């Protein structure tokens, strides 16, 4: 069997490929600390849905325990799966525990799997454990899903292509993806994602997406689409005549409720609504015609150019805190879909970019600091009457977490609050 290699961006998870068969390996004796929710201890994780080479498929896997005290790796506990043969689990998956009693091996043969439409209707499921399943008598649970997006092609022969450490984009390198996307990494603090936008090709309303892109533990997701029809109508209505019957000198494709992003310059940029500008973090965008000639030659439909080069630049070393789920550290974002304009403020397209890393579990220091920050703003006389519900809501807000995270961190917030109040009473 081929040599194993670490899955990029994953924790305690290795893989190897033999023709159409994928093998995954996890050392059950290790642990990766608390999960992001704080409700369990991670033993192994893909840290989100990771691409399987250039096959078009993605894999999501988590192995966890309620606590390390619940883990049992004795010969008796692993006996049910410790065998030369594999045992079926879920759909399309098989597993066994290797002779060392601590390594779980999961096998997926893509030549024999039965594809089916996933519950969301957006993906084709290739293999799944069918929820979290117990790993023999070890006290550990494993959940796995393997799928590819509807409308895309899955090629099992590409499972190992671009998966090894040597294939990870390094500083000074450029990687070209299908669909007109390119990722450039010219310096440690500078990364670019470029896309050639063709008006005619995007006229059918589809959304172009950057194929799965991971640089080490950094994940980059980008989507591009044509401007919405409603936006186009707005652009036409603002080009009205002034009171004297002349075109207003300030006429352009900007609406009164919009503000040009500070990034916008002689090479175009983002057109961000005033209420959205604070959501754009660590992203600079430029938009330029592919050639000067195409920029100056109107087409039959009156558009100024058919093709543009969209360039997004960000610093991959930056971090802006956790996502609302608490599972990711935000590196760069456009804050959802934003319009892109050329140098003359003509709306070209809409795009969305998110760059993020897996977040480590929330530490007690982070929670304690947030609790102290909230309580420090309260008058001392009000501390004794402050409701815990109010404190919990404010701390979750300071940490930037969603409401669903409340229950997981409630005990630690209570503990930190009690310590603060006791110290304040001295």
pLDDT digits (tens, 9 = 90+) for 200-238: 888 888 888 887 777 877 889 899 999 886 544 444 333
Q: 191 lies in a domain?
A: yes
Q: Are the CB atoms for 144 and 93 separated by under 8 Å?
A: yes
Of the residues 158, 191, 206, the one at which a domain ends: 158
Q: 138 lies in a domain?
A: yes
178 lies in the same domain as 114:
no
Q: 55 lies in a domain?
A: yes
pLDDT given at position 266: 58
Spans in the chain with pLDDT lower than 70: 1-2, 36-38, 162-168, 229-266, 273-277, 292-305, 325, 404, 426
Residue 44, CA distances (Å) to 165, 345, 373 in order: 19, 49, 34
- Token pair recorded at residue 276: 């959205």
Q: Are the CB atoms for 28 and 402 separated by under 8 Å?
A: no
pLDDT given at position 141: 96
Number of Cβ atoms within 10 Å of the Cβ of 304? 17
C-alpha torsion sign, points 158, 327, 89, 3: positive
150 lies in the same domain as 205:
no
339 lies in the same domain as 403:
no
198 lies in the same domain as 342:
yes
Q: What is the domain range of residue 206?
A: 168-229+251-358
Contacts of residue 345, defined as CB under 8 A and 6 or more positions apart, other chains included, come to 252, 253, 254, 260, 271
140 lies in the same domain as 219:
no
d(CA 280, CA 223): 15
Q: 234 lies in a domain?
A: no
| Residue environment code for 123-142, b if the CB has 16+ CB neighbours within 10 A, otherwise e | bbbbbbbeeeeebbebbbbb
Q: Looking at 137-206, which runs of residues are DSSP E strands?
A: 141-149, 173-177, 181-187, 190-198
- Token pair recorded at residue 349: 């397209």
Model confidence, pTM: 0.59
d(CA 423, CA 417): 10
- Token pair recorded at residue 6: 């670490």
Q: DSSP class of residue 304?
A: S
Q: Are the CB atoms for 50 and 7 separated by under 8 Å?
A: yes
Of the residues 337, 358, 379, the one at which a domain ends: 358
Q: Are the CB atoms for 401 and 392 separated by under 8 Å?
A: no
d(CA 373, CA 330): 22
Per the structure, how many domains does the chain have? 3
Residues 342/346/350/354 CA torsion (nearest 10 deg): 40
Q: 113 lies in a domain?
A: yes
- Token pair recorded at residue 380: 């001392």
388 lies in the same domain as 300:
no
The residue assigned the tokens 């091996």 is 105
174 lies in the same domain as 310:
yes
Of the residues 334, 358, 382, the one at which a domain ends: 358
Q: 235 lies in a domain?
A: no
pLDDT digits (tens, 9 = 90+) for 150-176: 888 899 998 987 655 445 678 888 888
Per DSSP, helices labelled H in 29-157 are 75-78
Q: Are the CB atoms for 16 and 2 separated by under 8 Å?
A: yes
3-class SS at 349? strand
257 lies in the same domain as 179:
yes
Per-position DSSP letters for 100-143, written without gaps between them: TSSEEEEEEETTT---EE-TTSSEEEEEE-SS-EE-TTSS-EEE
Q: 150 lies in a domain?
A: yes
d(CA 133, CA 90): 9
d(CA 270, CA 188): 24
- Across the strands, what pairs with 143? 62
405 lies in the same domain as 263:
no
Contacts of residue 253, defined as CB under 8 A and 6 or more positions apart, other chains included, come to 235, 238, 341, 345, 346, 347
Number of Cβ atoms within 10 Å of the Cβ of 258? 19
Q: Are the CB atoms for 136 and 78 separated by under 8 Å?
A: yes
256 lies in the same domain as 353:
yes
Q: 238 lies in a domain?
A: no
139 lies in the same domain as 203:
no
407 lies in the same domain as 277:
no
d(CA 298, CA 294): 8
């Amino acid at each position: 069997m081929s040599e194993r290699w670490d899955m990029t961006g994953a924790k305690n998870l290795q893989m190897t490929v033999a023709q159409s068969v994928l093998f995954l390996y996890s050392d059950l004796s290790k642990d990766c600390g608390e999960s992001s929710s704080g409700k369990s201890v991670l033993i192994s994780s893909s840290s989100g849905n990771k691409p399987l080479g250039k096959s078009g498929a993605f894999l999501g896997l988590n192995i966890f325990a309620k606590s390390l005290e619940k883990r049992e790796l004795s010969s008796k506990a692993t006996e049910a799966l410790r065998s030369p043969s594999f045992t079926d689990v879920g759909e399309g998956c098989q597993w066994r525990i290797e002779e060392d009693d601590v390594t779980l091996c999961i096998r997926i043969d893509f030549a024999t799997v039965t594809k089916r439409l996933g519950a969301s209707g957006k993906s084709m499921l290739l293999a799944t454990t069918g929820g979290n399943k117990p790993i023999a008598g070890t006290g550990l649970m494993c959940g796995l899903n393997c799928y590819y997006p509807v409308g895309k092609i899955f090629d099992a022969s590409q499972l190992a292509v671009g998966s090894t450490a040597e294939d990870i984009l390094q500083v000074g390198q450029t990687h070209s993806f299908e669909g007109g996307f390119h990722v450039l990494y010219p310096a440690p603090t500078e990364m670019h994602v470029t896309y050639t936008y063709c008006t005619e090709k995007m006229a059918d309303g589809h959304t172009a997406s950057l194929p799965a892109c991971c640089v080490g533990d950094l994940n980059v997701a980008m989507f591009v689409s044509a401007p919405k029809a409603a936006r186009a109508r707005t652009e036409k209505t603002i080009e009205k005549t002034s009171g004297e019957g002349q075109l207003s000198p300030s006429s352009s494709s900007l609406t009164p409720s919009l503000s040009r992003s500070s990034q916008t310059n002689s090479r175009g940029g983002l057109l961000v609504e005033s209420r959205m500008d604070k959501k754009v973090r660590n992203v600079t965008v430029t938009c330029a015609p592919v050639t000067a000639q195409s920029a100056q030659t109107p087409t039959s439909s009156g558009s100024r150019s058919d093709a543009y080069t969209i360039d997004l630049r960000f610093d991959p070393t930056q971090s802006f805190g956790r996502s609302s789920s608490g599972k990711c550290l935000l590196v760069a974002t456009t804050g959802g879909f934003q319009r892109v304009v050329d140098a003359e403020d003509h709306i070209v397209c809409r795009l969305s970019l998110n760059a993020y890393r897996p977040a480590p579990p929330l530490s007690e220091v982070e929670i304690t600091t947030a609790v102290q920050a909230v309580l420090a703003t309260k008058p001392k006389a009000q501390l004794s009457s402050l409701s815990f519900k109010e404190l919990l809501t404010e701390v979750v807000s300071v940490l930037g977490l969603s409401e669903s995270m409340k229950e997981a961190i409630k005990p630690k917030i209570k503990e930190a609050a009690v310590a603060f109040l006791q110290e304040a009473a001295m």
